[in-house]
Amino acid sequence: MPTHVYQPLRNPPTWLDRLLVHPLDMTVALIAFGFGLLVAISVASTTFSPSKSMDQMPLVVVVLVAVFLTSGGAISLVGLNWSGDEVSKGWALERFGWLLSLGGFAVFAISVSWHYPGSVFSWGMPLALSIGCLLRFISLVLIERSTRKIITETENDQQ
């Protein structure tokens, strides 16, 4: 399966290399961050609303969406672009970011579906994005588990 992803030619990989390795992960993290910023701006502004659905949401829900999406998107991007020596830190950051993003997308989807159940695209897309965040989180857990197992086996073979 590793041959199914882009293999960067540069070491360390550039930002473009990382984008090509994780094109949809980066896109979803950027969407979470960007949408979160728009929601945060709407909380601070009395005239701007990025979504008619948000006008129907209680302020606490709007603030939760803003915090979850902005911080989740940012932390996911940091984890995805981690270049430190401890890859586990990058994975931990990315996992936490995906959980926050999942929360933001899910809260938004539930709130929109509550107010506008017939607007399937409006609540279905954030619901799908929240499922994608969950799948990436699970994937990272499995990647780390597999890596730790290989490291343990390698260390045992060397002893």
| pLDDT above 60 (res 18) | yes
Determine the length of the chain.
159
User: How many distinct structural domains can be found in the chain?
Assistant: 1
Cα–Cα distance for residue pair 116/110, rounded to 1 Å = 10
Question: Does some domain include residue 96?
Answer: yes
Domain range for 130:
9-158
The amino acid present at 92, given as its one-letter code, is A
Asked if residue 51 is part of any domain, the answer here is yes
* 4 assigned to some structural domain: no
In a domain, 34, yes or no: yes
3, part of any domain? no
pLDDT at residue 4 above 80? no
Secondary structure tally for the chain: helices H, strands E: 5, 0
Report the range of poorest mean pLDDT among 33-37, 71-75, 83-87, 110-114: 83-87
30-39: per-residue pLDDT in tens?
999 999 999 9
Cite the DSSP H helix spans in the chain: 15-21, 23-44, 59-80, 87-115, 120-158
**Tokens describing residue 93:** 């950051």
Tell me the C-alpha distance between 28 and 103, whole Å: 14
Q: Kindly state whether residue 71 falls inside one of the protein's structural domains.
A: yes
Burial of 112 (C-beta count, 10 Å sphere; 0-12/13-18/19+): buried
Asked whether residue 1 carries a pLDDT value surpassing 70, the answer given is no
